[in-house]
Structure 1
């Protein structure tokens, strides 16, 4: 597409912040896709300042996208809605897409005054997710978020999330699975007998992710030919102390792609997810996954036998058996099915169809 893009293709993404994490990573994968960038004139607005810890604002700027901020960390939705209304009307966007509770609630308060088409990208199970993260505040947060979402066109990041919010909150949604761009293929074409079998977890270290239970289950496996790498940080970072030398803590890292490419199996014992980006990143380099039995994990595994298995990590013999079984999956089979189902281009094409309809 040459020349100035028409107004119909001018899109504003509003996010509560650009802090590194699932929603920000998904947004980056979407807007960095050539399919999306060639079809839309994209701009990004963060409610919070751009210089917060672990911000990805520079990553978006390096794509050549305008990135703005309201520099507002508050939950004063009446102030936020006025700021958003002014920003949107002054810049004349055809489509506005919000994500995150602060952005969703704020935009819902002015949606009737806007000529823009309004969407929200919903990443989580709302109620259960908020209960794990915010405790006693979760009921009010859930009520306000659901009420806001009922005023918008909602895109869920998985069919699992869509089914849940329809059943629980009577929300009608469109499901578009998260996707990631193809990465560097797995370094080893297959596991070599005699090598350590390298399991890897990448993500936040908190109760919702079930990291402590994952490690406790792993150390019950008596075999010495396996090791578990824990990559990430979070509230549990200081309390996860184990003497088992097979468990290796890497902390927060910027070379995730390299770590994944040198691993054999990705593991996750998460209790709630939308559609986990870390799982998709592992599949993109050809690593099979062992995942806890939750609907989004089951949705991913159902797409291809090559993607791995659902695992009851508390069943030590079954856990050990699935490790051996996973080693028989060839990386090329994983990557082929990943490209057909979960790539960023597949995701971008689906967003494109909806947004230009």
Structure 2
């Protein structure tokens, strides 16, 4: 039996959860059955990483708006190459690839993964609230239309599945849940704490709260900074990530007079080393799909504090293997961080416990489940 030619597509190649998912899928899909290629922007972290695996990368132009250049770029890709399966990740790639595929005479099997349904989340009282409402309606209509031309929808957590079905951008008959996976064996043994701390300039006796996430409204950094400012101790906060709210976040730290205790480390790929160096991981997101950084922090054995939103309670049980707090609740977040300082040890380990179902979060398992969906879909086509 010949290999199935699979094209994985995502709009941006910068480091992020969706890109990490695509990288691990590329790495662990069964190479005896699948020939994997990538379509994304020309340069970026993902491009560098998949090329290390010997994977072909097709540079394409994907715009976040209607663009003839984007249409031509993807049309040319489909004209020049025949793929058995096209698997899209993220709203922009999902829109363009599925749209262009409609007119193909020999259409590949089309799959789309929702890494969180971001456009469904609206923040009342914010600037542009009406625009957010309009965008939500438009994007839902677009995804409902494209669902007709999608062979399989994949959601990375149960909450995304429930929401996608409820708003009719997915249907139970062709929608599956495949949890995000990580390379657990890589995180099972932390790097030596002193070595890791020297790498980031942390003092040996300092108590460090750590956060990983792009500086965007979704990740709740404003609430993290305000909660941290209320702590009556000498702890420090280290934030890995970059984004549109970088300067606003730095300004807020100055305003709260905590700028000497907060470190903005920018976008980095050495997350294993960072998690080895910190004491407690904090993720105060306003919404999520299923955050990979949280899975990695749990795998490395760090106490975790996170918002009780979307896919996070599917990972953390409050008081059992971590602490859950309501989103946007500064007081609750402060109390949880204060409690973690008094008890900076993980609770029940999430990974390695036979009854917690943690095997579903292994990268190899994720790739196996998705590979099975590819095979079943091709047989029924």
TM-score, length of structure 1 as denominator length: 0.84
* Distance 1:146-1:278 versus aligned 2 partners, 3 A rule: farther
For the 8 Å contact 2:206–2:236, the answer to whether it is kept is yes
- Residue 31 of structure 1, CA deviation: 1.2
Show structure 1 runs of 4+ deviating over 4 A: 129-135
* Distance 1:350-1:304 versus aligned 2 partners, 3 A rule: farther
Q: In the TM superposition, what whole-angstrom CA distance separates every residue of 1:147-199 from its partner, at most 9, and x where no partner exists?
A: 3234312111111111111112352221111111132422469xxxx943321
Alignment of 1:241-320 (within 5 A): 241-242=253-254, 243-244=257-258, 245-302=260-317, 305-306=320-321, 308-312=322-326, 313-315=330-332, 316-320=334-338
Q: Give the structure 1 partner of residue 116 of structure 2.
A: 124
For the 8 Å contact 1:228–1:248, the answer to whether it is kept is yes
Q: Which runs of 5+ in 1 are unaligned?
A: none
Give the match's secondary structure for 1:208.
helix
* Distance 1:237-1:348 versus aligned 2 partners, 3 A rule: same
Give the distance between the partners of 1:249 and 1:261, measured in 2 at CA: 17
Q: Which runs of 5+ in 2 are unaligned?
A: 194-203, 377-381
Indicate which of 200, 210, 232 corresponds to 1:200. 210
Give the distance between the partners of 2:17 and 2:128, measured in 1 at CA: 18
User: Does structure 1 residue 40 correspond to structure 2 residue 57?
Assistant: no
TM-score, length of structure 2 as denominator length: 0.79
Q: Give the structure 2 partner of residue 341 of structure 1.
A: 360
For the 8 Å contact 2:303–2:340, the answer to whether it is kept is no
Count of residue pairs brought into register by the alignment: 339
User: Does structure 1 residue 350 correspond to structure 2 residue 354?
Assistant: no
Q: In the TM superposition, what whole-angstrom CA distance separates every residue of 1:105-162 from its partner, at most 9, and x where no partner exists?
A: 2233333634311101111224234879986262333432343234312111111111
Give the distance between the partners of 1:81 and 1:235, measured in 2 at CA: 27
User: Does structure 1 residue 231 correspond to structure 2 residue 240?
Assistant: yes
- Residue 319 of structure 1, CA deviation: 3.8
User: Does structure 1 residue 145 correspond to structure 2 residue 143?
Assistant: yes
* Distance 1:322-1:277 versus aligned 2 partners, 3 A rule: same
Give the distance between the partners of 1:228 and 1:283, measured in 2 at CA: 18
| Structure 1, 291-300 or 179-188: larger mean CA deviation | 179-188
